[in-house]
Every structure is written in C-alpha cells, then in structure tokens.
Structure 1
Amino acid sequence: MSSPTPFKMRLVHLDLKGAPPKVSYLSEVFPLFHALGANGLLIEYEDMFPYEGHLRLLRAKHAYSPSEVTEILRLARLSELEVIPLVQTFGHMEFVLKHAAFAHLREVALFPNTLNPHEAESLALVQAMIDQILELHRDVRWLHIGCDEVSD
C-alpha cells in the first residue's frame, strides 16, 4: 500500500459460492493481496466447504476437499494473511435452507434465505456448521457469523 492506513485489519473477502477459484490460482493471488497491503482473508465458503455427516448435503459437487482447505490455509500463512472464516448463521442461508432436509427451519416457508431463530434445531444446525469449520481452522482468532441482511 502506498500510503499508511489507520485500519489494523485490511481484509480481502473471498466469496466462494458460484465460481470458486482453484487452489492453484489462490497460490498466485495471495502474494499479490499481501503486496497490495492486505493482511487477512475473510473466507465465505458456503457450499464450497467440505461438510461431513448430516451436513454433507450442503456441499456443492465441486466443493473443496479437506486437503484443499488445508492447502488454502497454508498458502495464506505463507503470504502473511490471517484467515477469518465467515459462516452464515441467520441470513444468507439459501445454501442450507434450499434443501428439503432443512426447509422446516426457514423463518418464512416460501423463502430459503433466513433461518428461524425460534427453532431449537436451528441452533444445533449452526453449531454443527461452526464446529466443522473450526475443525479445519484450528488456529483462527476470529470467526465472522454473518447476521446481515436478515429480511424476513
């Protein structure tokens, strides 16, 4: 960065849904992010995370494998980028609530974007998602829980 900034955290938000980059590409851009002054990555996996067990159905067909996530974290460390995983926990829950197995947890039955916080199962779902994310991100200091744009 050419001028000093008052911000201690200068993050690049990687929103991986839709058209996620290959790990080989990330190995090329992480050093660039660092060179441009970034010191962290906010990684929003959504359906690109390799969920297991009853959450496996949340995975996209082309989701990263656990070893790819581990490699992404290694590459981030090499470029001195602190990783902050972003787990949607209230709004932006389409990747979860579009599935029949979780549709009953919608705040409004017709819309898969918002989780119903009054359902005990909603809390269990969010806890399971966070547990799996943290299992592969053992060294994180921060976890972003979303909670923006809750509209129902």
Structure 2
Amino acid sequence: MGVKGVLIEYGDILPLEEIFVDVGHQAGYTKSDRKLTEKAAKENEIEIIPLIQTFVISPCLNATYVLLQDLLQQTLDMHPNSNKIHIGCDEVMLNNVHDECYIKQMKKSERYIDHIQCIVNIVHQIRPGIRVLIWDDILRHDEFTKNDKLLNQLKGLVEPVSWNYVPTFHDYYKTLSAWKIYPKFFNNIWAASAFKAYPSLLYSLHILNTDEFLADNPFYDCETLMKSIGKYSQLYKLLPGISIYSSISSLFTVVSKIQNLLKLLYDTSPEYNRKYSFVRRYELDSQLTELKGFQNDLLSSKERLNHDLSNLYSKDIIDEWFDLYVIPIENQMYKAYIDFSPVFNITSWVRRPLI
C-alpha cells in the first residue's frame, strides 16, 4: 500500500452501541468524529484499515463469537470504504484456561487456527471479499511453521503481517524460517515496524526499528524524502501537534538540567558528608537556589505543555503523561530539599575523627 493507507487500532475508543455502550472510553471518538475521519480519508485517497483485537476472550465459548460478531459488525459499518480489516491475534497466550476448553479437546495450536477461521467466516458474512490481516508472531513458531497441515487451513483466508521489536529490522528476517515458508501458503505477506509498545521505555529501539524499516522499504523513496525536506520543513509548521512537540522539547531541556544538577548535588555532598554537615555550604546553598529556579522553569514548561496537550487530548491522557514523565523528577527535587535542608541547621562540629 505504501502511503495509501493507515492502520488504526481502536481499542476502546470506537463509538459502539448496544451491549458495548458502557465499555467505551468516555473521551473516545463520537459518530461525528468517525464520519469526519472517513470523509478526510476518502478525499485524500487513503484507506483506513481498522484493527480489532479478536483473541481477547476464551475461544472455547460460543458466546464469545456472538459478542465478536456484534463488535465486527459495528466496526465494519463505521468503515464503509475499507476493503481490509486487521483482526490482531498477536502476543496470544495459548492457554486452555476455561472449563469448556477441556470439553472441546483440541491442541492449543489447533484452537488458534480454529479461532481465526471462525473470525474470518464472521467477517466474510458481514462483508464478502474483504481481505483479513493478522499479526504473525504466533504463526512463526515451530509448532506452526513445521506443520503444513495447520498453515494450509489458513490458505486463502488471511494475510500475515510480520513485525519485530529488533532495532536491526531486516537482519531479523534473514534467519527467520517463517519468512521463507509463508509464500507456500499466503498470496500476500506484509511487514510492519514496531513504533511503540514493549519495551515501552526504550524508545531508541523503536526509532531504530522504524528507521531501518523505512530505509529499505521498496514503497518508500528516501531520496525523494531528502529532496523534499525543504518543503516538509514548512509543512510541519502547520501540523496541529507542532506546538506539543515544541513544548515537550522545552520541558525536557529543563528536566535534563535538573537531572544534571541533582547528580552534582549528590556527588559533591554524599550521605556521609550530609550526616556530619561536612559540606561546602556556600556552594550547596547556591546549587539549591539554582534548583529552585529550575523548579519554576519546570512549572512554566508544564503549564504551557498542559495547555497545548488539552487541544488534542483528554484530561486522563494528559494526567497519565505527566505522572510518567514529570512527577518523578518533581519527587526527586522534593527529596533533595529534604535531604539537604538539615545541613544548614548545624552550627557546630565535633572534633575529628567523626566516628
């Protein structure tokens, strides 16, 4: 597809009705939002591929598929122009945990295939001819790749989307046996980068993963990109998120200064020195004054970012972001004040040795 489509994993933000009406995110999409998205996608000739995780309830219960049929029906009704749907099925723990699973005797791998077949049948009943995508991380295991009978049951039903978290994206596939086996069973094979998720804090891995994915992607002309940077540099200023990017950059500049100063404080006045007040009090006082200045800068940056984020995100998302990336550094500053303040209360010192 190149740049002609966008894959959207909705989670709980679709404006679902009936039995799902009370489980959706309160700040999720409205029906008007969805219509606007469909209109914009059509005008720009971009296909939206909805991604709905379908392996989330016990596959051993008939009621599971009644529920999923309703979910898929509503999802596809909101995507009238989509001729592809992604049904997830990644990172699945193939455990027969429900009592019903022991009644219906099947191997875990067989149950996985059976589930996919059931979901594809439901999808094709709703929209005949639609192409069904699935993540491939379960299929690439030996119990599948070394069992032609299992994979053959998916022939013509799904299109696997291969992905990995490895920063050397393409090196991973050089030794992946599944990549050589898939063409025997699937007419179309997709590949995707991992731009987020596990390990959530190591963003550099995701950046390297996506960068290498784009660099060798036959649909992505990096030379054209380089020639267009001048135009894009002007275009990006019009994006609604540019103020957020600017505010986050400013905030983390302050955070970096605070982290460096805290390290200096604890390096030059370790716990032993603070215990006996053997510190350079003038320098310590100067550093704590500087820290208070940074605290004011952090507050200003935080207020600015909060304002910018509120233009695009709901309060719960903003609060979560600050809890993850700002509150910890604030707590470190408060701890520093508590650790170093007692030093200034001591006005006399014992003769050495201190112990």
TM-score range, shorter chain: 0.5 to 0.7
State the partner residue of 1:121: 63
**Pick from 91, 98, 106: which aligns with 1:149?**
91
1:46-91 residue CA offsets vs partner (Å, 9 max, x unmatched)? 111001011112210101111110101111122221111111100x
Matches of 2:47 and 2:13, distance apart in 1: 19
Matches of 2:35 and 2:20, distance apart in 1: 19
State the partner residue of 2:80: 138
Shift of 1:148: 0.9
Equivalent positions of 1:1-150 (< 5 A) are 9-10=1-2, 38-90=3-55, 114-150=56-92
Q: Percent identity?
A: 35
Matches of 1:130 and 1:88, distance apart in 2: 10
Higher relative contact order (CA 8 A, sep 6+): 1
Shift of 1:138: 1.6
Q: Which has the larger radius of gyration?
A: 2
**The structure with more helix, counted as a fraction of residues:** 2
> Helix, strand or coil: the match of 2:8?
strand
Structure 1, unaligned runs of 5 or more: 1-8, 11-37, 91-113
Matches of 1:139 and 1:78, distance apart in 2: 12
Structure 1: which 4+ aligned runs deviate by more than 6 Å?
none
> Helix, strand or coil: the match of 1:58?
coil
> Helix, strand or coil: the match of 2:59?
coil
* TM-score computed with the length of structure 1 as normaliser: 0.59
CA RMSD, Structure 1 to Structure 2 (Å): 1.1
State the partner residue of 1:25: none
Matches of 2:52 and 2:74, distance apart in 1: 10
* TM-score computed with the length of structure 2 as normaliser: 0.26
Residues 47 and 81, structure 2, Cα contact 8 Å, conserved in 1:
no
Shift of 1:139: 2.1
Aligned positions, number: 94
Q: Which amino acid aligns with 1:56?
A: V
1:88-111 residue CA offsets vs partner (Å, 9 max, x unmatched)? 100xxxxxxxxxxxxxxxxxxxxx
Matches of 2:11 and 2:22, distance apart in 1: 12
Matches of 1:70 and 1:43, distance apart in 2: 15
State the partner residue of 2:352: none
Residues 9 and 50, structure 2, Cα contact 8 Å, conserved in 1:
yes
> Helix, strand or coil: the match of 2:84?
coil
**The structure with more strand, counted as a fraction of residues:** 1
Shift of 1:135: 1.2
Structure 2, unaligned runs of 5 or more: 96-355
Q: Which amino acid aligns with 1:60?
A: H
